[in-house]
Amino acid sequence: MNPTLDESAVRHVAHLARLQLSDEEISRFAGQLSVILGYVAQLRSVDTRDVPPTAHPLPVHNVFREDEIVEPWSPEFALHNAPAKQNDFFKVPKVLDQESA
């Protein structure tokens, strides 16, 4: 059984979503959404009792390295490729005026 969505249901959903749709769009979406609901109905017919719930189809492993305590970079080393610097800081263009901050 393929569920169908009539144009009045599409108009109701569009109203709830605060969408303004033309009559042509409503007619097109009624057909497209009916096809999508058919696929959902088809998925519901699949027996999934022996399938464990999963959040991801592939095994996911933590790829981060272990935290290690190391000496911090010196300001000279951290800034040696900086296009512009002032004292021990990166120099960047002003983003906000003082009045708008």
Q: In this structure, is residue 11 part of a structural domain?
A: yes
In a domain, 39, yes or no: yes
Tokens 């249901």 belong to residue:
9
Instruction: Please list the pLDDT of the chain residue by residue as tens digits (101 residues).
Output: 567 889 999 999 999 999 999 999 999 999 999 999 999 999 889 998 998 888 888 888 888 888 899 999 999 999 999 999 999 999 998 888 777 65
Question: Taking the complete model, does pTM exceed 0.75, yes or no?
Answer: no
CATH number of the domain enclosing 11: 1.10.20.60
- The verdict on residue 79 lying in a domain is no
Give domain status of residue 71, yes or no: no
Residue 15 lies inside a defined structural domain of this protein: yes
Whether 21 maps to a domain, the answer reads yes
Q: Which residues pair with 90 in a beta bridge?
A: 85
Q: According to the model, what pLDDT value does residue 100 have?
A: 61
In a domain, 25, yes or no: yes
pLDDT at site 81: 93
Give the per-residue pLDDT at 3: 74
Which structural domain, as residue segments, surrounds residue 18? 7-44
